[in-house]
Structure formats: C-alpha cells, structure tokens
C-alpha cells in the first residue's frame, strides 16, 4: 500500500493505508468476477467505437501565450515554472 502511495504520489496517512488496504479486496473481487468470462479467445475492446488513423495535418495552430501558460502557476521565475529541489532523476 505504501508503495502504491509512492507510485501515485499521494502521501497516505496510517489510517488511510489501513482503510485502503481493505479496499484492495474490491479490486480482487472485481477481477475474479470478470475472469469468469474474460477468456483468452475474447478480444479486448479499448475504444467503444472503433476508429483508426485519426491524424491531424502538420500545421501550426494552437499555441498559448506565455502569460496563458503561466497564469495558474503556483510559483514561477524567469518565464518558467518553479519547483522545489528534485531528488529523483529523469527516467
């Protein structure tokens, strides 16, 4: 559960860890239920209405002004978003 909190970047309290741990069972129950019918020969449907090759022409269109980009920034400096020190590295 702690690991899930790290992956999801949510700092869970001890109580949250406790109550959520119990609720993972719901997922397990759901998987048990769908497994009754989700047999190998059934194809998965990722999009309810199948489409393919939806592309956009390579023409510049949308573009925000820097003011728009930064408008909601919790913190900024030099036209960029400012964040506190980063521990982990790039992926």
Q: How many Cβ atoms from other residues are within 10 Å of residue 17's Cβ?
A: 13
How many CA atoms lie less than 13 Å away from 49 in the CB half-sphere? 1
- SS3 call for 75: coil
24 is a contact residue toward other proteins (CB under 8 A): yes
37 is a contact residue toward other proteins (CB under 8 A): yes
90 is a contact residue toward other proteins (CB under 8 A): yes
91 is a contact residue toward other proteins (CB under 8 A): yes
CB of 21 to other proteins, least distance (A): 10
2 is a contact residue toward other proteins (CB under 8 A): no
């Amino acid at each position: 559960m702690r690991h899930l909190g790290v992956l999801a970047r949510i700092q869970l309290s001890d109580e949250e860890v406790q109550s959520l741990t119990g609720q993972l069972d719901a997922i397990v129950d759901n998987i048990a239920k769908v497994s009754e019918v989700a047999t190998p020969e059934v194809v998965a449907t990722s999009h309810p209405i199948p489409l393919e090759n939806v592309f956009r022409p390579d023409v510049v269109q949308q573009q925000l002004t820097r003011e728009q980009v930064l408008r909601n920034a919790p913190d900024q400096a030099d036209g960029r978003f400012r964040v506190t020190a980063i521990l982990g590295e790039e992926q």
